[in-house]
Amino acid sequence: RLIDSQAASMGLGFSVLAAAEAAKNGASLEEAAEIAASVLDRTHLFILFDTLKFLEKGGRIGKARALMGSILNLKPILTLQDGEIAKKLQARSFRKGIQSLYQLTKDCGTLEEVAVLYTTDPDEASNLGNSLSNLIVGDKKPMVVRISPAVGAHGGPGVVGVVCVTSKN
For residues 28 and 15, what is the distance between their CA atoms, to the nearest angstrom?
16
**pLDDT in the model for residue 80:** 82
**117 conformational bin, left if phi > 0, alpha if psi -120 to 50, beta if neither:** beta
**pLDDT in the model for residue 6:** 64
Q: Is the pLDDT of residue 93 over 80?
A: yes
For residue 59, name the pLDDT band (cuts at 50, 70, 90). low
| Helix residue spans in the chain (DSSP H) | 10-24, 29-41, 53-57, 63-71, 94-107, 122-132, 149-155
Contact 114, 142 (CB under 8 A): yes
| Type of residue found at 24 | K
Q: Is the pLDDT of residue 73 over 90?
A: no
CATH match of 42-166 with 3.40.980.10? no
CA distances 35 to 27, 40, 143, Å, are 10, 9, 20
103-113: pLDDT as tens digits? 999 999 999 99
For residue 12, name the pLDDT band (cuts at 50, 70, 90). confident
Q: Is the pLDDT of residue 82 over 80?
A: no
For residues 137 and 42, what is the distance between their CA atoms, to the nearest angstrom?
15
For residues 17 and 7, what is the distance between their CA atoms, to the nearest angstrom?
14
Q: For residues 80 and 55, which has the higher predicted lDDT (pLDDT)?
A: 80
